[in-house]
Structure 1
Amino acid sequence: MPSKDKIAYFYDGDVGSVYFGPNHPMKPHRLCMTHHLVLSYDLHKKMEIYRPHKAYPVELAQFHSADYVEFLHRITPDTQHLFSNEMARYNLGEDCPVFDNLFEFCQIYAGGTIDAARRLNNKLCDIAINWAGGLHHAKKCEASGFCYIHDLVLGILELLKHHARVLYIDIDVHHGDGVEEAFYFTDRVMTVSFHKFGDLFFPGTGDVKEVGEREGKFYAINVPLKDGIDDASFSRLFNTIISKVVETYLPGAIVLQCGADSLAGDRLGCFNLSIDGHAECVKFVKKFNIPLLVTGGGGYTKENVARCWTVETGVLLDSELPNEIPDNEYIKYFSPDCSLRIPSGHIQENLNSKSYLSTIKIQVLENLRCIQHAPSVQMQEVPPDFYIPDFDEDEQNPDERLDQHTQDKNIQRDDEYYEGDNDNDHMEDM
């Protein structure tokens, strides 16, 4: 390993400009806040920054059903009233509303995770970051839990072209049900999710007894937790389980979903993690020196989400960040104290007794003993990267006017800071 990890970071400013609606807890604006915080700490100078390609419908259909992708492509806020049957079938509505530029939003965040996986596959970086990704609830044929397209599954499918085994780790407060479901029957992906578990807590799945089936039996690991878990108990449990998982499973690549709704004081969360406690998980996984794809996920108190993912970008770069936030476009959101770390301030009682956590740990380690040491996978020939047609400007009809939104897309935004040559990640050379 080179002494310094090479890090690729994916960002497109348009991903933060969509709006789920006035009363919706999901605020993509948190991605702009995160990015500007990263810039204000000069972290962009230590990474390669890329604007992701917009994933093609045919790429999205590697996991999702073609009719669902087609519907997402077609539906708009103005036409949704004409499609009440399809809206119900694809679970679009209150939790997963139809908003302007919905499909493009999906293409960008999914494109970022796919590009990140491709760069790792081609050994062009050691760690790839896409804070816009990590939407872990989407299903093959429907939206779920604010998630429409499953970027994580698409990224993992990409990694499986080059790696016999991929490990998925999820520290969002919600169960990573969509990833678990997608790979429930295979031993080529091990999913490990640490989450709040309870019948009344979304999505209601993720019991320690859910372990996978058929070839995938014991390759799904669930760590169900109760309200109020704190840094110390979370960290102990996480380190013990992940060490054993890596030693047993020997993954070729790791995908780490860093949902920030597990932080203390999150609008939809119920854990007591501080930003440092959350970031400790990232630091621990990084130490394995295994190709690593890092994504965002949930997180509904947006200034804390931005703080958390900025600290974690620093962790991945081995950069200690001063606590005083430098001036940036969104500084008012961090006032009055403008500090990067927030005290965890035990907001609620920790209901996870030592004996409860010990029982969970023993059960998980017992399940791990049931799998053979590093399952042997017959490596298939690597399928080619998807054929993506080149866009030929000469063939475009000059009489067809591009709408303003499309024209704006072709303008380099001046708030994104790409250093050097930037032509969509040179995907065509890969």
Structure 2
Amino acid sequence: MPSGLRTAFIYTPRFLEFDYGPGHPLRNERLELTYDLISACELLPIPSARYVEPEPATDEELLVFLKPDYLNVLKAADAGHPPLEAFRYGLGTSDNPILPGIYRWSALVAGASLLAMRLVESGEVRTALNISGGLHHAGPGSASGFCYINDAALIIADLCRRGHRVAYVDIDAHHGDGVQWAFYDTDQVLTLSIHESGHTLFPGTGFVEELGEGKGEGYSVNIPLPSSADDEIFLWCFNEVIPPLIDAFQPDILVTQLGIDAHRTDPLSHVGISLGAFVQTVRRLKGVCDRWVALGGGGYDLRNVARAWTAAWAIMNDREPPALLPESFLARHGGLGFSDLTFIDAPAIIEGKAKARAWEEARETVGLLRQLVFPRHGI
């Protein structure tokens, strides 16, 4: 392998061979859109970066996290027909439909995240990005919230069995429940999730009081945001809690879920940040650990997904995204309605009584975390 490699972009056109079906919010074309924008911005042919195509995870690799009975049911569902008791495993719902290729797609995404993890763990690169990953709701024995195999939990479990300390940061609008519960009783993994409150958004979890149990008490950290949170509140909460705890924890490897469904135009959440706030968050994450595995996540306004993850890849490579979307990209995808041709949109700031109430909730949340969690980490 050439020397001087710092980053790896994990992608394959095979990601597009599966579709969640008409009307489903999660559209895999967002992955191709992101790849096309990264290419149009000339962010792939970078001397210190590597493009790598993944292979599907094997049964042996998947069983590091998955329960055997669930894996068997998921494989049986790959033909597109519901096996017996599928609903018991969260399969066949409107969120997690049974469609042809569902197991192969899930195994390919998991394989992509495992590849990203291995490249980083081995020292071949410092940072690897798998935009197809971040399917953080699934459990070891069930599908949930558009997620069939929890690739984030899978790679963390694999790292843990080899003795690594892992910090997991989730900035998706939805709480990273599947990852939290997978490591709720260990101090080997620090899970940190900033998300819209479970009072107003699926999956209805992720409250401050969910602190972990046993050895893991104090290692599950949640920042539930009021539904009216904007850039200022999101960034303040993030910066007050997440970097100090990671610094105190001193992880061997950082795993992040970079969902962009907290954006103000996303149809599946209520919080309203800008792409600029997302970019500031990614810049901050870049400096907290030498080894970084970055995964995609939620994002249901395709225009935001492509811009956000392209900007993230640029930051990982010490580059800046262009001020405007490239003409070559718009010529191919102008039909998606990119009315704002700028790469980064204007700040999202609210005012008035809603802002005052949001600040009050945010300060109370951070105050509780300082009281309940920070002392356990010597802060």
Shared fold by TM > 0.5?
Answer: yes
The amino acid that maps onto 1:252 is D
User: Under a length normalisation based on structure 2, what TM-score does the superposition of the two structures give?
Assistant: 0.92
SS at match of 1:232: helix
Q: Give the aligned partner of residue 57 of structure 2.
A: 55
Rate the CA distance shift 1:38–1:129 in 2: closer, same or farther, 3 A.
Answer: same
**Structure 1 residue 342, shift from structure 2 partner:** 2.8
Q: Which of 332, 346, 349 is the aligned partner of 1:343?
A: 346
Report if the CA contact (8 A) 1:75-1:98 is conserved. Answer: yes
Report if the CA contact (8 A) 1:275-1:342 is conserved. Answer: yes
Q: Which of 66, 69, 77 is the aligned partner of 1:67?
A: 69
Report if the CA contact (8 A) 1:264-1:272 is conserved. Answer: yes
Rate the CA distance shift 1:370–1:183 in 2: closer, same or farther, 3 A.
Answer: same
Q: Give the aligned partner of residue 81 of structure 2.
A: 79
Q: Which of 356, 363, 367 is the aligned partner of 2:372?
A: 367
Q: Give the aligned partner of residue 291 of structure 1.
A: 291
**Structure 1 residue 78, shift from structure 2 partner:** 4.7
SS at match of 2:169: strand
Report if the CA contact (8 A) 1:189-1:219 is conserved. Answer: yes
Q: Give the aligned partner of residue 386 of structure 1.
A: none
**C-alpha distance in 1 between matches for 2:275 and 2:357:** 20
SS at match of 2:45: helix
**Structure 1 residue 368, shift from structure 2 partner:** 2.6
Q: Give the aligned partner of residue 425 of structure 1.
A: none
**C-alpha distance in 1 between matches for 2:146 and 2:275:** 23
**Structure 1 residue 356, shift from structure 2 partner:** 1.9
**C-alpha distance in 1 between matches for 2:294 and 2:256:** 5
Aligned residues between the structures? 368
SS at match of 1:34: helix
SS at match of 2:222: strand
The amino acid that maps onto 2:25 is P
Rate the CA distance shift 1:336–1:17 in 2: closer, same or farther, 3 A.
Answer: farther
Q: Give the aligned partner of residue 135 of structure 1.
A: 135
Report if the CA contact (8 A) 2:77-2:98 is conserved. Answer: yes
**Structure 1 residue 212, shift from structure 2 partner:** 0.2
**C-alpha distance in 2 between matches for 1:130 and 1:351:** 38
**C-alpha distance in 1 between matches for 2:289 and 2:193:** 21
1:100-153 CA distance string (max 9 Å, x none): 211111111111111111111110011110010000000111100000001001
Rate the CA distance shift 1:282–1:108 in 2: closer, same or farther, 3 A.
Answer: same
**Structure 1 residue 5, shift from structure 2 partner:** 7.2
1:185-235 CA distance string (max 9 Å, x none): 000001000011133521111110010001101100011111121112211
Which segments of 5 or more consecutive residues in structure 1 lack a partner in the other structure?
Answer: 375-430
Q: Give the aligned partner of residue 178 of structure 1.
A: 178
Single out whichever of 170-179 and 227-236 deviates more from structure 2: 227-236
The amino acid that maps onto 1:366 is Q
Q: Where does 1:251-400 land on structure 2 (aligned, <5 Å)?
A: 251-326=251-326, 327-328=328-329, 329-344=332-347, 350=355, 353-373=358-378
**Structure 1 residue 290, shift from structure 2 partner:** 2.2
**Structure 1 residue 365, shift from structure 2 partner:** 1.9
Report if the CA contact (8 A) 1:248-1:368 is conserved. Answer: no
SS at match of 1:209: coil
Report if the CA contact (8 A) 2:78-2:104 is conserved. Answer: no
Provide the aligned C-alpha RMSD in A: 2.0
**C-alpha distance in 1 between matches for 2:224 and 2:180:** 14
Larger Cα-atom Rg: 1
Report if the CA contact (8 A) 2:26-2:300 is conserved. Answer: yes
**C-alpha distance in 1 between matches for 2:109 and 2:80:** 24
SS at match of 2:299: coil
**C-alpha distance in 2 between matches for 1:78 and 1:110:** 20
> Is 1:102–2:96 an aligned residue pair?
no
Q: Where does 1:7-26 land on structure 2 (aligned, <5 Å)?
A: 7-26=7-26
**C-alpha distance in 1 between matches for 2:339 and 2:86:** 43
Report if the CA contact (8 A) 1:218-1:370 is conserved. Answer: no
The amino acid that maps onto 1:49 is Y
**C-alpha distance in 1 between matches for 2:286 and 2:5:** 10
**C-alpha distance in 2 between matches for 1:100 and 1:347:** 44
Q: Where does 1:18-37 land on structure 2 (aligned, <5 Å)?
A: 18-37=18-37
**C-alpha distance in 1 between matches for 2:318 and 2:357:** 32
1:138-177 CA distance string (max 9 Å, x none): 0111100000001001111232255531100000000000
Report if the CA contact (8 A) 1:323-1:341 is conserved. Answer: yes
**C-alpha distance in 2 between matches for 1:68 and 1:99:** 16
The amino acid that maps onto 2:198 is G
The amino acid that maps onto 1:128 is A
The amino acid that maps onto 1:59 is E
**Structure 1 residue 344, shift from structure 2 partner:** 4.7
Report if the CA contact (8 A) 1:324-1:340 is conserved. Answer: yes
**C-alpha distance in 2 between matches for 1:279 and 1:347:** 19
Q: Where does 1:215-254 land on structure 2 (aligned, <5 Å)?
A: 215-254=215-254
The amino acid that maps onto 2:338 is S
Report if the CA contact (8 A) 1:197-1:225 is conserved. Answer: yes
Report if the CA contact (8 A) 2:81-2:99 is conserved. Answer: no
**C-alpha distance in 1 between matches for 2:373 and 2:231:** 24
The amino acid that maps onto 1:79 is H
**Structure 1 residue 296, shift from structure 2 partner:** 0.6
